[in-house]
Chain A
Amino acid sequence: MTTMERIRRLLVEKLDLRAEMIVPEATLDSLGLDSLDKIEFMFALEDEFNIKIEDRNVKINTLMDGVEVIDKLIAAKHA
């Protein structure tokens, strides 16, 4: 499963979103995530991908941003 597919599954399971809304260009705001949802989303990403998003300043605006951050962190772990 690709990173995007796993994110889609997470959002459906954890935040009760409809799968068809979840496209790479979608912003977290456009998906209706409020500030609490965003924290939960970050926690869910950490658990799902077994990573730590330590940098509080990391900007995840669209889902594509999320994919990039995750792939980078995974690559760094394996490097």
Chain B
Amino acid sequence: MRRVAVTGIGVVSALGNTPAKLFENLMRGISGVRKITPDYSMQLSGRLAATVDFDPSAHFTKKQIKAIDRVSQFALVASSQAWADAGLVLDDEEKVQSGVSLGTGMGGARSLDEVCLDLYKNEASRVSPLSIIKIMANAPASHISIQYGLSGPCLTYSTACSSSSIAVGEAFRQIKAGYADIMIAGGTESLITHVSFKCWESLGVLALEDAEDPSSSCRPFSKDRTGFVLGEGAAVVVLEEMERAKKRGAKIYGELIGYGSTADAHHITGPTVSGQAHAMNQAIEEAKITLEQVDYINAHGTATVANDNVETQAIKTVFGDRALRIPVSSTKSMHGHLMGAAGAVELVVSLLAIKNKAVPPTANLRVPDPECDLDYVPNVGRAGVNVRTVMSNSFAFGGTNAVIVVREV
């Protein structure tokens, strides 16, 4: 059976635009959540977001900036880090065996907002011919495939908050089954826009602002949790067939050994214990590991009342007594909820936990919740933990659950 190695990682996030910076900030418990003041501020009831500090002109020409939405810009920058990190140089034959698999929730949401504003408010008679290619959800994946000349599968998955874990898992299957040798996989999201902000607000899932310290507003697994904070960014991994990676002496962050993909088939927003547990069980079964071997779980941990409760129960359902002894943390408390990029950024965090032998904390966990009684690594990260196998959970509105298991090689 073909095995799959991770040989490169890249990230654009509110906590830094390199994997090292992201992990360092997470370990220090630093939050990327802040108050923002867009020009539509007056219409927002909450103004929290985990925004990325990003200067497009440092990476793209004026012409590219105009033709490529921020969501694709993030994806391209994260990919360039991952690609350089992997150190791959491919000939034409190898490029045919290489592809892209990306997740995004809302694609070019910013460009769509701009076009709507132009048409509805400014009554423009026409819009830019670049509008469609900026808005379409598969633009990020296509830009990557064009950039590196990868002519194998070029796929885009949109399953809300689990999009990028699905994208990584499906890329894993492409390689495992022999359809590809190399896949750039991950996710990207840039949806901090007027329209999307208002829509999320109405759903009642966004965190209320902490009056004293806005950066501590997202509090996963804490009794006083009120929801998540919109984030943005991208994370990308280079997946490579193991023998190929070993033969060329590539640096290997870990092996992707298991993937679970299930649906709750229950409710469009409400999660289920059984659907989540089923996905975890699938991933563990494929990974051929025992429950004892899981050293760390990077939780979905959105900090909504429903998710954290249900996820806790699902972990207990799968792991039994062992559940209480596994460190489980939600790094969304710090990098925000990256939606279609969430699973990928959390996979990068999981790989870095293996590399650094350290477990990042769940920030802002200040009031224990009797319903959430696992070891959530509250507030302080742990160094010197022998992290060898990590499970990364991603669940979603719509009910698509994705679980990835990675292991040290």
Contact = CB atoms under 8 A, between A and B. Distances in A.
Interface of A: 15-16, 36, 39-40, 43
A34 B210 CA distance: 50
Contacts of A40: 128-130
Contacts of A16: 61-63
A70 to B, nearest CB: 18
B129 A39 contact: yes
Interface in B37-75: 61-63, 67
A22 B360 CA distance: 55
A43 B126 contact: yes
Nearest to A34: B67
B57 to A, nearest CB: 12
B133 interface: yes
Q: Size range of the interface on B?
A: under 10
Interface string B62-92: 1100010000000000000000000000000
Nearest to B62: A16
A15 B63 CA distance: 6
A16 B67 CA distance: 12
Interface of B: 61-63, 67, 126, 128-130, 133
15 contacts: A15-B63, A16-B61, A16-B62, A16-B63, A36-B67, A36-B129, A36-B130, A36-B133, A39-B129, A40-B128, A40-B129, A40-B130, A43-B126, A43-B128, A43-B129
Nearest to A41: B129
A16 B126 CA distance: 22
A16 B129 CA distance: 17
Contacts of B133: 36
A60 to B, nearest CB: 15
A39 B126 CA distance: 12
A15 B128 CA distance: 13
Contacts of B67: 36
A36 B61 CA distance: 16
Nearest to B65: A16
Contacts of A39: 129
B92 to A, nearest CB: 23
A43 B66 CA distance: 15
B217 to A, nearest CB: 41
A64 to B, nearest CB: 24
Contacts of B61: 16
Nearest to A38: B129
A22 to B, nearest CB: 15
The 5 A-B residue pairs whose C-beta atoms are closest, nearest first, are A39-B129, A16-B63, A16-B62, A36-B129, A40-B129
Nearest to A15: B63
Given A43-B126, A43-B129, 11 more contacts: A15-B63, A16-B61, A16-B62, A16-B63, A36-B67, A36-B129, A36-B130, A36-B133, A40-B129, A40-B130, A43-B128
A36 B62 CA distance: 15
Contacts of B130: 36, 40
Nearest to A47: B126
A60 B386 CA distance: 67
A40 B128 CA distance: 7
A36 B67 CA distance: 10
A54 B130 CA distance: 20
A39 B127 CA distance: 11
Contacts of B63: 15-16
A39 B67 CA distance: 13
B319 to A, nearest CB: 52
A43 B129 CA distance: 9
A19 B133 CA distance: 27
A16 B65 CA distance: 11
A78 B126 CA distance: 25
A40 to B, nearest CB: 6
A79 to B, nearest CB: 24
A31 to B, nearest CB: 12
A2 B128 CA distance: 26
A52 to B, nearest CB: 10
A46 to B, nearest CB: 9
A48 to B, nearest CB: 15
B68 to A, nearest CB: 12
A40 B61 CA distance: 17
Q: Which of B61, B62, B133 has the most CB of A within 10 A?
A: B62
